[in-house]
Structure formats: C-alpha cells, structure tokens
Amino acid sequence: MSTEKKSVQKQEALEVATVERTRSGKVFSPPVDIYERNDEIVLLADMPGVDPKTIDIMVEKNILSIQGEIYEQTPPGYELFYREYDSGDYQRSFTLNDSVDQNKIEAKYENGILKLRLPKAEKVKPKKIEVRLKT
Amino acid sequence: MLFRDLMNVNPWQEMDHIREEMNRLFNSASRPAAQFYPAMNIWTSQDAAVITAELPGYRTKDIQLSITNDELEIKGSRQQEALKDGEQYHRQERGYGEFERTLRLPFLVDTAKVDAKLENGILKLTLPRAEADKPKKIEIKTA
C-alpha cells in the first residue's frame, strides 16, 4: 500500500545564472523561516552539512546574502549504493527592509541551522558580518 | 530483492505490515503528522555501509535508531519555535513534525559495532557487515 509520504527534497538555487561561481557543483537554496518581533527580525535557514568556517553573510545596499559550502561527504573507499539527495553549497539572498540596523546583525550556526537576528534600526552602509562559531 | 528475502517471506509478518500501514493511514487523518521523511544516501564497501541523512535542527535526543536483522528503523521529530504575542511569520518554508522510516540494509549488520554521529545537521551511520554475512571464497578441489 502506498502512502503519500515523500522525501524532503532540496530546491536548487535560482540566481545561479546571473552570478557565476568559480567552483563547480550544485547550489541549493536553503528553506527559511522568517519571523518578526517588536525589535528584530529572525531568520532561520536549514543548511545541513555546511562547514561553519565557510559561511559567508554579506549585506550590501539592501541585499542580504547568505552562503555556505559543504564539505566532502563521500566516505573514502565506499561506493554509492543508493542516493536520495544531492550535496551542494547553499546560497540565497533577500532584500532587507529599511528598518534593519545592518551593523548589528548577528549570526549563529548550530546543528545545521543558520540563525540570523536582524535588529530594527536606521539604514547604514554595506557591512560584512562575521559568523560567531559555537564550539 | 535479495534471494534471502524470497526464501523468508512470512505471511503473518506481511499481514502485520499491512495492518501497521492501515493504522498509520487512519492515525494520520486524526493527528496532523508531517508527511515527510528525510532524504538519505547509502554507500557500501565490502565490509560496511555508510548511511547519511540531512537532519538540520535535530538534536541527538530527537532521533531514535534501531536495527533488527537487516532492517534499520529511524524515527525523529523536530519542533517549531513557538511564537509569542506580537510575533508573526513572514515566511515559513521549513518542515516540522515527526517522521518514521524503515530501510532494508544491503546485508546483515554487526549491531554491536554500529556507529552513529550527528554533526552540523548530518546524521552519519557506519554499519559494519556481520562476519557471518561476508562472502566466503570457496576452493574447488580436484578429484
């Protein structure tokens, strides 16, 4: 008897065509939850298998982009027997609202989830945000 | 299907499977269970199999694994952060809920030596093949 269950499938990123990458391989668009509180906007992105050191979060003008590279997952000496998911880097961009203080964005990567906190404030210049690693 | 499977079909077990499947269908109608399971990849070598699954946001206590003969059962659940008053979603794309899945392994496994690791949202299982299940070379004697 068949049920309607289906495996979780990743979405390939849409914006790959406009900006080319130097590394070949697939790029996925991570699924996100975004919610708003009184004083901040919180973004959660599922990015399993990403090496935390490679996570890159940029804010330029009003575009917030998040990127992460996965590390090699094929175990040495093994052959693929059955594949349901592909591995690839993650990449996604969002336009930010003027109300976000771009200096105070905080990022955390834990258990394969990237969590960004975007405090509300006035608009400022482009900034790069460092990922705070949790050890 | 392996030759072993054909030899070992147990009609009672098959009926149990059907009953479980029916129960699941009826249960899912009454309770809002997520209709999904994580995608998995399986790699094999002569002596072991490696299974990986993407489980972002799951902690070790959210995942249960069990092996019976050559079947691996994996269960898990992920809860959504509850929103407080005045908070509202702009986007909601991530899946939540419970899943349960049974995989038929390519060979019998030495359950005592199974290794499971959860790192950066990837579950990695290393399943060594049982000694008794490994292929044996048979010498042909000349008369």
Question: Which of B75, B78, B93 to mutate to probe the A interface, most A CBs <10 Å?
Answer: B93
- Residues in A closer than 8 angstroms to B21, CB to CB, are 1, 3
CA angle A111, A8, B107 (to 5 degrees): 90
A47 Cβ under 8 Å from any chain B Cβ: yes
Residue-wise pLDDT for A34-75, tens only, equals: 998 888 889 999 999 998 999 999 988 888 999 998 876 788
Quick one: pLDDT band at residue A122, thresholds 50, 70, 90? low
What does the alpha-carbon distance between residue B28 and residue A114 come to, in Å, rounded to a whole number? Answer: 31
- Listed range (A71-75, A128-132, B50-54, B74-78) with the worst mean pLDDT: A71-75
DSSP element (H, E) containing A95: strand A89-95
B31 Cβ under 8 Å from any chain A Cβ: no
Q: What is the mean pLDDT of residues B28-52?
A: 76
Mean confidence (pLDDT) of chain A? 82
Quick one: pLDDT band at residue B125, thresholds 50, 70, 90? very high
B77 Cβ under 8 Å from any chain A Cβ: no
Contact criterion met (CB below 8 Å) for B82 and A42: no
Closest CA to B42 of B139, B140, B126: B126
What does the alpha-carbon distance between residue A120 and residue A123 come to, in Å, rounded to a whole number? Answer: 9
What does the alpha-carbon distance between residue B62 and residue B19 come to, in Å, rounded to a whole number? Answer: 26
Measure B55 CA to nearest chain A CA, in Å. 7
B108 Cβ under 8 Å from any chain A Cβ: no
Quick one: pLDDT band at residue A14, thresholds 50, 70, 90? low
Whether A110 has a pLDDT exceeding 90, the answer reads: yes
Question: ipTM of this model?
Answer: 0.73
Contact criterion met (CB below 8 Å) for B93 and B75: no
| Backbone φ/ψ region at A111: left (φ over 0), alpha (ψ -120 to 50), beta | left
Residue type, A22: T
Q: Two tokens at B112?
A: 């005592």
Q: Would you tell me how many other CB atoms lie within 10 Å of the CB of residue B60?
A: 11
Q: Is the pTM of this model over 0.95?
A: no
Q: Two tokens at A131?
A: 């990922």
Residue-wise pLDDT for B43-65, tens only, equals: 999 889 999 999 999 999 999 99
Tell me what percent of the residues of chain A surpass a pLDDT of 70.
Answer: 81
